[in-house]
Amino acid sequence: MFILAYTFIFLMCMIGNILVCFIVVKNRQMRTVTNMFILNLAISDLLVGIFCMPTTLVDNLITGWPFDNAMCKMSGLVQGMSVSASVFTLVAIAVERFRCIVHPFRQKLTLRKALVTIAIIWVLALLIMCPSAITLTVTREEHHFMVDTYNNSYPLYSCWEAWPETEMRRIYTTVLFSHIYVAPLALIVVMYARIAFKLFKSAAPARSTRPEEPEGRKVSRRKAKVINMLIIMALFFTLSWLPLWTLMLLTDYGHLSERQLHLVTGYIFPFAHWLAFFNSSANPIIYGYFNENFRRGFQEAFRAPFCLPPRRQHRGPYGARNRVFTQPQASDSPPHSESRPLASRRAGIPAWNG
């Protein structure tokens, strides 16, 4: 069931976001500033699907980290960058809509400036995730080993952030939480609140002028539908990542016992990961529901393989886990919860690779 759930969102993510990229790139009329940001959002979601969903699924199904050190760093870095780029892109979309609707007479953002903004977004995402990429490493657990069904024992490896001190990891988690979750989403809320207020004020003149009533209502309705789509995207991102951020802060600041930590990482984190990844799969559905151009593009893409060549008169177009045994530790060794990787953030931030 767990494998089917991951396979479902993986296929949704790949098919939906590839179609979004294809529709925006193929159709010249779709190359607007907002759609360029949506294209960037789809690319970041694709990176999550390619680099993070498969590795996180395998990491959740089996005990220990089965990949090499390079994959440990790459998976954590790519997912962290993709999530950062997604939220920064949502902020850029909110700012662009704010400028167009609240301040319509100011100079509008051009496609060239939008592409420069997207480049800056990815540079910022790389910079904020550099500490994670540097500290991510694969280490062997000294007091743990795996035993398979034939009672053969194997060393246990973990992918985790090897910070010199626990407090440094907590500080970094707080920085990430504030910079790529709280502050951006607070800014988005303020922007869309101002936009909604502006649209509400502009609706009254449209009703009072009778000759222009149909056109005014049509433009206002179109703007409101775009804003609704963008608000749903931001709200869904917030709700999808909230459980994972809560667990991250809980593992860093909650002083959990080893039993509690095992319960959280073994059972709650996998579901929180799935919910966060589902956000990358659901965005194309949101586009298709709210945006007529995307909906028409999706319909044509799905209809094309089943259509006959056009004639002259027609123009229609989960797995078993290995057991982990713990060897008794010497009494002079430090407590496991402060010194071992299993109590630290594994594979980057737990939000990145669990």
C-alpha separations of 62 from 55, 74, 156, 247, 323 in Å: 11, 20, 11, 21, 9
Most confident of 117-131, 177-191, 249-263, 315-329: 117-131
Could you tell me whether strands 323-326 and 153-161 are parallel, antiparallel, or unpaired per DSSP bridges? unpaired
What pLDDT shows up at residue 215?
A: 55
Environment class of residue 220 by beta-carbon count within 10 Å: exposed (0-12), middle (13-18) or buried (19+)? middle
- Give a yes or no: residue 37 inside a domain: yes
What is the rounded average pLDDT of the residues 74-90?
A: 90
Model confidence at 211: pLDDT above 90? no
Average pLDDT, the chain: 79
55-59, 184-188, 276-280: lowest mean pLDDT where?
55-59
Residue 334 belongs to a domain: no
* Tokens 């010249």, residue located: 28
Per-residue b/e over 240-265, b at no fewer than 16 CB within 10 Å? bbebbbebbebbbeeebeeeebeebb
* Tokens linked to 185: 């989403």
Q: Which pair of tokens denotes residue 102? A: 């609240």
Whether residue 311 lies inside any domain: the answer is: no
In single-letter form, the type of residue at position 66 comes to P
pLDDT at 100 exceeding the cut of 70: yes
Query: Above 70 in pLDDT, residue 311?
Result: no
CA triplet 146, 147, 148: central angle to 5 degrees?
A: 120
* Per-residue pLDDT, 174: 93
321 pLDDT band, cuts 50/70/90, is: very low
Q: Of 68 and 337, which is predicted with more confidence?
A: 68
Structure tokens at 197: 């207020």
Q: Are 33 and 56 in contact (CB under 8 A)?
A: no
pLDDT at residue 154 greater than cutoff 60: yes
Are the beta carbons of 345 and 162 closer than 8 angstroms?
A: no
- State residue 337's pLDDT score: 37
Between 62 and 341, the more confident residue is 62
Residue 308: other Cβ atoms inside 10 A: 7
Residue 205, in any domain of the structure:
no
pLDDT attached to residue 147: 64
Q: Are strands 153-161 and 136-147 parallel, antiparallel or unpaired?
A: antiparallel
Distance (Å, whole) CA 3 – CA 67: 19
Q: How much is the pLDDT for 46?
A: 93
The pLDDT of residue 325 = 46
Q: Can you tell me which residue has the tokens 């053969």?
A: 152
User: What residue type is 114 in one-letter code?
Assistant: A
Give me the CATH number covering residue 108. 1.20.1070.10
Instruction: Identify which has the larger pLDDT, 309 or 41.
Output: 41
Per-residue pLDDT at 304: 59
Name all contacts of 92-96 with Cβ < 8 Å and 24+ positions apart: 92/37, 92/117, 92/118, 92/121, 93/34, 93/37, 93/38, 93/230, 94/187, 94/188, 94/191, 94/192, 94/230, 94/234, 95/191, 96/33, 96/34, 96/37
Confidence of residue 115 (pLDDT cuts 50, 70, 90): very high
Q: Is the pLDDT of residue 41 over 50?
A: yes
Mean pLDDT of 293-298: 79
Average pLDDT over residues 101-126: 91
Residue pointed to by tokens 């007091």: 143
Those residues with Cβ within 8 angstroms of residue 25's Cβ, 6 or more apart along the chain or in another chain: 39
Query: Mean of the pLDDT values across residues 287-315?
Result: 65
Tokens found for residue 178:
């504030």
In a domain, 204, yes or no: no
Q: Does residue 213 belong to any structural domain of this protein?
A: no
> In this structure, are residues 127 and 77 in contact, taking their beta carbons and an 8 Å threshold?
no
Confidence at residue 10, expressed as pLDDT on a 0 to 100 scale: 94
Determine the pLDDT at residue 29.
Answer: 85
Total domains in the fold of the chain: 1
Q: Decide: 36 and 130 in contact? Cβ < 8 Å.
A: no
CA distance 245 to 236: 14
The candidate with the shortest Cα–Cα distance to 55, out of 169, 136, 151, is 136
| pLDDT tier at 336, thresholds 50, 70, 90 | very low
At 157-173, the pLDDT tens digits run 888 888 988 889 999 99
| pLDDT for residue 353 | 52
Q: Give mean pLDDT, residues 98-115.
A: 88
Supply the pLDDT for residue 9.
93
The answer to whether the pTM exceeds 0.85 is no
| Structural domain harbouring 38 | 2-192+225-299+348-353
Higher pLDDT, 61 or 349: 61
Task: Specify the residue for token string 């903004």.
Answer: 117
Residue 327 lies in a domain: no
Cα gap 301→19, rounded to integer Å: 8
Cβ neighbours for 128, distance < 8 A, ≥ 6 positions apart: 80, 84, 175, 176, 179, 180
Q: What is the mean pLDDT of residues 331-346?
A: 41
Residue closest to 262 by CA, chosen among 199, 203, 219, 326 = 326
Q: Evaluate whether residue 134 is within a structural domain.
A: yes
